[in-house]
Amino acid sequence: MKNILITGGAGFIGSHVVRLFVNKYSNYNIINLDALTYAGNLENLKDVESKENYFFIKADICDHEKMDSLFKEYEIDGVIHLAAESHVDRSIKDPFSFAKTNVLGTLSLLQAAKNNWNNFENKLFYHVSTDEVYGSLSEQGFFTENTSYDPHSPYSASKASSDHFVRAFHDTYELPIIISNCSNNYGSYQFPEKLIPLFINNICNNKPLPVYGKGENIRDWLFVNDHARAIDVIFHEGKNGDTYNIGGFNEWKNIDLIKVLIKTVDRLLGRSEGESEKLITYIKDRAGHDFRYAIDSSKLKNELGWEPSLQFEEGIEKTVQWYLDNQDWVKKITSGDYQNYYQEMYSN
């Protein structure tokens, strides 16, 4: 039996990775470590919380003594590190907490791994990162694994810094590491402050849809389950010390994506086509707003055989339907009630 520590497992992507690993690998104990910040929600994992190979620990990755003792207590063999402050707009308001969690928190996990893994054989520290570390593209070209880092927001600067620390531990101490840099994710269980769930919710409730600038910025969107599948493949078959880009070759201008969301929600709610376009409200552009992200994920395809499983239209349809079917989940978040779930489940 191996003991795999997944950090940030109560968040959006982390909950999909935890679910995949708990269900697929009965030979792994999956230890989900999460501080349950505003972004962590244990209800995301209701369907796996009673499984024998699933464990939850509420802890802050910045608490380095605690990280060190957890590595000893649980005899951790591998780490998949997702815990982070993840919202660019919040990083513009409060960069300090991003430096703390994303940089110092990652460092405290790296130290715990280095100090407790006497022998690095069959050990791996897998760090989940973002394509935003590469900066911004013009109309042409793609980010590859060789693109220089050029972060612009406090969020991407903190993720870039954490990537550098992970690589430094490999180069200095020979810690076995892998880093992946993924494009924007969408799908179920995403906190409704992020573009896609926020807009689905606002369209449903006839609220304004705030679009930065002219909505011309371009993002490359990947279905979250495909990201989780990529993490699975890379964790098991990736090469020690390597970096892998993950993306779906699926670029959308924000304004075009919003129109697809409007069309899909209106159709599923039986409204007339385009009815909710009146909700679009252009607002002042985000400070330092990167123009375009686009990932070249051909290394992952050619070396490890991973490809996205879903076409975007199908992924968006599934996603919109999920938010419509799970209005209770959305309401508990928007009302703040979801934070009681942990207290109810784990108080004894």
Ligand X SMILES: NC(=O)c1ccc[n+]([C@@H]2O[C@H](COP(=O)([O-])OP(=O)(O)OC[C@H]3O[C@@H](n4cnc5c(N)ncnc54)[C@H](O)[C@@H]3O)[C@@H](O)[C@H]2O)c1
Q: How far is the CB of 185 from ligand X (least distance, A)?
A: 4
List 155, 189, 293, 342, catalytic entry: 155
Bridge-based pairing state of the strands 78-81 and 251-253 = unpaired
Site string for ligand X, 263-302 (x = CB under 6 A): ----------------------------------------
Which 298-327 positions form the footprint of ligand X (CB under 6 A)?
none
Active-site annotation holds for 89: no
3-state secondary structure string across the chain: CEEEEEECCCCHHHHHHHHHHHHHCCCEEEEEEECCCCCCCHHHHCCCCCCCCEEEEECCCCCHHHHHHHHHHHCCCEEEECCCCCCHHHHHHCHHHHHHHHHHHHHHHHHHHHHHCCCCCCCEEEEEEEHHHHCCECCCCCECCCCCCCCCCHHHHHHHHHHHHHHHHHHHHCCCEEEEEECEEECCCCCCCCHHHHHHHHHHCCCCEEEECCCCCEEEEEEHHHHHHHHHHHHHHCCCCCEEEECCCCEEEHHHHHHHHHHHHHHHCCCCCCHHHHHEEEECCCCCCCCECCECCHHHHHHHCCCCCCCHHHHHHHHHHHHHHCHHHHHHHHHCCCHHHHHHHHCC
**One residue of 29, 130, 250, 276 binding ligand X per CB under 6 A:** 130
How far apart (Å, rounded) are the C-alpha atoms in residues 62 and 50?
28
**One residue of 32, 53, 184, 254 binding ligand X per CB under 6 A:** 184
**One residue of 34, 43, 266, 290 binding ligand X per CB under 6 A:** 34
Active-site annotation holds for 63: no
**One residue of 19, 22, 40, 217 binding ligand X per CB under 6 A:** 40
10 binds ligand X (CB under 6 A): yes
Complex with ligand X: residue 122 or 340, whichever CB lies closer: 340
61 binds ligand X (CB under 6 A): yes
**One residue of 11, 176, 238, 248 binding ligand X per CB under 6 A:** 11
Phi, psi for 36 (deg, rounded to 5): 50, 60
Complex with ligand X: residue 222 or 266, whichever CB lies closer: 222
187 binds ligand X (CB under 6 A): no
Phi, psi for 189 (deg, rounded to 5): 65, 20
128 binds ligand X (CB under 6 A): yes
How far apart (Å, rounded) are the C-alpha atoms in residues 257 and 250?
11
Complex with ligand X: residue 34 or 43, whichever CB lies closer: 34
Site string for ligand X, 62-81 (x = CB under 6 A): x-------------------
Complex with ligand X: residue 83 or 330, whichever CB lies closer: 83
Active-site annotation holds for 317: no
Q: How far is the CB of 118 from ligand X (least distance, A)?
A: 25
82 binds ligand X (CB under 6 A): yes
Site string for ligand X, 89-118 (x = CB under 6 A): ------------x---x-------------
Residues that bind ligand X (CB under 6 A): 7-8, 10-14, 34-37, 39-40, 60-62, 82-86, 101, 105, 128, 130, 159, 182, 184-185, 191
Give the active site residues.
131-132, 155
